[in-house]
Structure 1
Amino acid sequence: MGAKGADREGGRSTPPATRIQAVSRVQILDAALDIFSRHGFRGSTVDEIAARAGMSKANLLYYYRRKQDLYEAVLERTLGEWLDPLNALNVDADPVEELRRYITAKLVLSLERPEASRLFANEILAGAPVISPTLQTKLRTLVFQKAAILRTWVSEGRLAPIDPIHLIFAIWATTQHYADFAVQIRAILGPDVERPDFREEVTRSVLSVILDGVRPR
């Protein structure tokens, strides 16, 4: 999956992207995320994405030859951003503090980039036609690796006796709720979601619920 065309020519890797090319890729992916998250893959066009990125369609197609390539690249970037905090889980660190760091990072992503979570949720609801191979390989491997760390902490008495994989699922469900169900949250809380301390309140509440549940009893 991912970008094609500009990345490889004639079976050989092209030179590393220049700073301008790197900036253009970020610009394109940000624009694509905005359009795909609002209209879905089928409802989005390359013309819309190019316009949102502030460039010509021809220029965009230099980096990504097909809409499918662009969609894959956006999903891959999203999954990479989400997996980095989980990947950083350190078996030698304090378990509760490591989970605090991970949950906080997930909440930041959900609250600051809700469109990424919504795009990913739509892909999953559609049966993950694009990203299914990554879920079954990269994601599955990482989850089992980090579950082993959690299981070690449980066996050492440093966490309550919990199922580590279901704990990870619970963290995903709770943190991504604030992105995927933002409309519902706004309908219930109204103007409260605009308060300067709303994010701090969300983080404090979620951390309290989850961390109090995993502390050794």
Structure 2
Amino acid sequence: MTDKTEGNRPKNGRGTPGRREANRIATEDTILHAAESVFAEAGFGGATMQMIADTAGLPKANLHYYFATKEELYRKVVERIFGIWLEAANAMDGAAGPAEGIGAYIDAKMEISRRHPNGSKVWASEVMHGAPVVQDYLETTLRDWTEGRARIIRRWIAEGRMAEVDPNHLLYMLWATTQHYADFGHQIEVLNHGPLSDADWEAAKASVKAMVLRGIGIAPGA
């Protein structure tokens, strides 16, 4: 005898299972955005799962269904912002040269500061407190990533395509400058007499790129 339930089951990932997966992804995204906001405001120690659930507009039980502990959720928030930063670094990996690679990296990092300010604030707070939760992440993923980008910069220097600078300190400066627009966004808004407009952001990107590129011996637009 044919099982009617089986016969009516959606095929090829369509129908109910597809909607269920889409709902799961959407709920997890809602939780992560809420967690970014709460962790950015209260820090890891001050945040609670109840605060995050309230911000997400979900029952606390739903939150624990997706993330069993606050530390698990916190690490996911940190990993997510770092994953977004890693994607931005792809601009350097196949670039024709330092002007294109570093310029595109600055553009990408500043756009991340614009669109994900809370994630950047969570990362900054964690590191300023000695990285009590993600020290292992700094010693593995971040260290490997930094060494990889430093090799690219050293190659450009060896090819005579940019001034001889310490790659690590160049990267530190790029992080500090681009992430400043997220971590100190309120200060910038006060000095700017309001939030940066689209035109303001484009002008900021152009100014930062011009100053950095001139500093490493490259004329902007060259």
Category of TM-score, reference length = shorter chain? 0.7 to 0.9
Segments of 5+ residues of structure 2 without an aligned counterpart are: 1-19
Tell me the residue number matched to 1:210: 212
Q: Does 1:61 align with 2:64?
A: yes
Cα shift readout 1:16-40 (whole Å, capped 9, x = no counterpart): x922212211111111111111111
Q: Does 1:187 align with 2:190?
A: yes
**In the aligned structure 2, how far is the partner of 1:61 from the partner of 1:55?**
11
**In the aligned structure 2, how far is the partner of 1:130 from the partner of 1:83?**
20
**In the aligned structure 1, how far is the partner of 2:58 from the partner of 2:117?**
24
2:53 pairs with one of 21, 39, 50:
50
Q: Which amino acid aligns with 1:159?
A: M
Tell me the residue number matched to 1:4: none
Secondary structure of the equivalent of 1:161? coil
**In the aligned structure 2, how far is the partner of 1:108 from the partner of 1:124?**
22
Cα shift readout 1:176-210 (whole Å, capped 9, x = no counterpart): 1111112222333323x444421111111111101
**In the aligned structure 1, how far is the partner of 2:189 from the partner of 2:95?**
40
**In the aligned structure 2, how far is the partner of 1:32 from the partner of 1:92?**
35
1:166 pairs with one of 155, 159, 169:
169
Secondary structure of the equivalent of 1:18? helix
Q: Does 1:28 align with 2:25?
A: no
Q: Which amino acid aligns with 2:77?
A: V
Task: For residue 91 of structure 1, report the CA deviation from its aligned partner.
Answer: 4.9
Q: TM-score, normalised by structure 2?
A: 0.84
Q: Which amino acid aligns with 1:41?
A: F
**In the aligned structure 1, how far is the partner of 2:95 from the partner of 2:81?**
28
Secondary structure of the equivalent of 1:55? coil
Cα shift readout 1:77-111 (whole Å, capped 9, x = no counterpart): 11111122124422562221111110100000112
2:156 pairs with one of 125, 138, 153:
153
Q: Percent identity?
A: 40
Does the 8 A contact of 2:157 with 2:163 survive in 1? yes
TM alignment of 1:1-217, pairs within 5 A? 18-91=21-94, 93-191=96-194, 193-216=195-218
Tell me the residue number matched to 2:17: none
**In the aligned structure 1, how far is the partner of 2:178 from the partner of 2:132?**
24
Secondary structure of the equivalent of 1:199? helix
Deviating above 4 A after TM superposition, structure 1's stretches of 4 or more consecutive aligned residues are none
Which one has a bigger Cα radius of gyration? Answer: 2
Aligned length: 200
**In the aligned structure 2, how far is the partner of 1:82 from the partner of 1:194?**
21
Does the 8 A contact of 1:147 with 1:165 survive in 2? yes
Secondary structure of the equivalent of 1:197? helix
